[in-house]
Amino acid sequence: MKNISHYKDNIKRTILIVDDEYINRALLDNIVNQEYNTLFAEDGEEALKLMNDTNYHISLVLLDLMMPKINGFEVLDIVRQDERLKKVPIIVLTSELSAEVTSLQKGAVDFISKPFEAPDVILARIKKAIDLEEYVEVIKNTERDHLTGLFTKHYFFEYINEYEEYKTSINMDAVVLNIKRFHLINEIRGHLYGDLVLSFIGKKLKELFDYYEGIVCRTDGDTFYLFFEHQDDIENTLDKYLIKPVVDKFHDLYLSFRIGIYQNVPVDANIEDVFECALHACNLLRKNYKDSFSYYDVEMHNKEIFNERLINHVDKALEDKEFKVFFQPKYEIHGEKPVLCSAEALVRWVHPEYGMISPGVFIPLFEENGLIQKIDYYVWNEVGRKIREWMDRFNKVIPVSINVSRIDIYDPLLESKLMGIIERNKIDISSLMLEITESAYTSDSKTIIETITNLRYKGFLVEMDDFGTGYSSLNMVSNLPIDILKIDMSFIKNMCNNEKDLKMVEILLNISEFLKVKVIAEGVETKEQYDLLKEMGCDIIQGYYLSRPLPSDQFEAII
């Protein structure tokens, strides 16, 4: 398929030749008619009529200056006052050098001297003038957001780079501004009303830049980029000129903003990277309903670099077995002494440069970008291999619960991956228990319940982790496919000192009894907690009181 530029280059454009001498019109027509369509006018009055005739699309005018009725200078003056006509490039035809400067001042783009010079030179001047005008028109039509009149993102960055060439001594701030919950305005009030809000914000941003030197654009929908001279009290500046006027104007919408700020942008910084940093600071406020401003600083930068190194190192870490599976024992406590009954698999990362990295650091990071699936699958395989090894060495089955993240549940290959581990290691399905957080059930209950129901049908046992923190209703819990409830450690921690937490543990134990499922209390750290849970009828506990998470060799010592 031929591209658009091919067709554009092959369109034969129209030139208007304006001269009161027939011989001049004929000479010019002979030069240009192979490449251009031609129209003719004998004076300025006739020329203006043709230029105003919408049946013609005139790409350029060759204009003589000395003519009867309306001369060339007068035509230039009239055209300059007309928004549509002034877009048409005009090359003046003159034999007077003094007229050239005046013509250019009045808006002519070039001049051709009389007597006419070489045809190739005339054609080159015409082509250059037309190409330049069309290029300028393309820029005009694409550099501005039509709704707000602000720059588009592409031209915003282009102009900043130009600006920085000449303004290197001025400290600048980069700001990303996003309207919170803007999609709800469009849904409830309609897109026209949403456009009204955006247009007003655009107006206020233009007014802001009447006071401060800088550049602004609208990027995606409800997001704006600002680049302007450094403000010591930038929050007050934005509040005064933007936030307060917008909130007052649309007071019934209860508008609020997320604003990410990168202050004192380094002169040699890549400007697109700078705004990515400001955007990152802005996005950190997504779940923060209290604050409106977030600053990108050295600490945040170092954290980003650290996170990026972790992300880039994952495949090598898996290959080199830097991830170590630890096992935290679970004990049944119905008898006189606690009895080891199972374990929970936990992952630790022994990094060659950073040493032991807390799972609280890398797990949320990998959940955010999907890499957690690779870690989970690695852990599952290690657990399956260990269960088989213990069966062979100790003639005993120690069930182990593995974490199944929300992203794992949406994996269409989840069942085949789990069954592959079972079959390769020749272990019983019930020995590989699946641990799923309560919040995962409540986020997309239908899809997740269907998936987990199918896995239980296969024979897998399912633990609901963090029970009591996911805000699921009792009606929902009664219909969930689960075999074991795991009481979140936050309730266990204060149960001996806090009547409400103690009562909550009692309620959760009663729910498990009603559902006829076992209950595990995690985070048990003291004898007092242990004795109280045993008295209340808890089935299983895990926690530092009986054992911390152990590497496999130490765990094997207690089997």
**Structural domain count, the chain:** 3
Residue-level pLDDT at 166: 63
The answer on 420 and 395 residing in a single domain is: yes
Q: Which of 365, 374, 237 is nearest to 306 (CA)?
A: 365
Helix (H) or strand (E) holding 393: helix 372-394
Helix (H) or strand (E) holding 401: strand 400-403
Tens-place pLDDT, residues 28-78: 999 988 889 999 999 999 999 999 988 888 999 999 988 888 898 999 999
Of 93, 113, 142, which closes a domain? 142
Tens-place pLDDT, residues 139-177: 777 778 888 888 888 888 888 887 766 666 678 899 999
User: How far apart (Å, rounded) are the C-alpha atoms in residues 108 and 125?
Assistant: 13
Q: Structural domain of residue 96, as residue ranges?
A: 4-142
User: How far apart (Å, rounded) are the C-alpha atoms in residues 371 and 363?
Assistant: 9
CA 135 to chain centre: 32
User: How far apart (Å, rounded) are the C-alpha atoms in residues 116 and 120?
Assistant: 11
CATH of residue 284's domain is 3.30.70.270
Q: What residues have CB less than 8 Å from 200, skipping those under 6 apart?
A: 246, 249, 250
The answer on 342 and 244 residing in a single domain is: no
Of 88, 107, 142, which closes a domain? 142
Q: Report pTM.
A: 0.61
User: How far apart (Å, rounded) are the C-alpha atoms in residues 68 and 46?
Assistant: 11
Ranges of residues in the chain whose predicted pLDDT is under 70? 1-10, 164-169, 438-445, 468-479
The answer on 360 and 263 residing in a single domain is: no
Of 112, 142, 172, which closes a domain? 142
User: How far apart (Å, rounded) are the C-alpha atoms in residues 216 and 241?
Assistant: 14
The answer on 269 and 329 residing in a single domain is: no
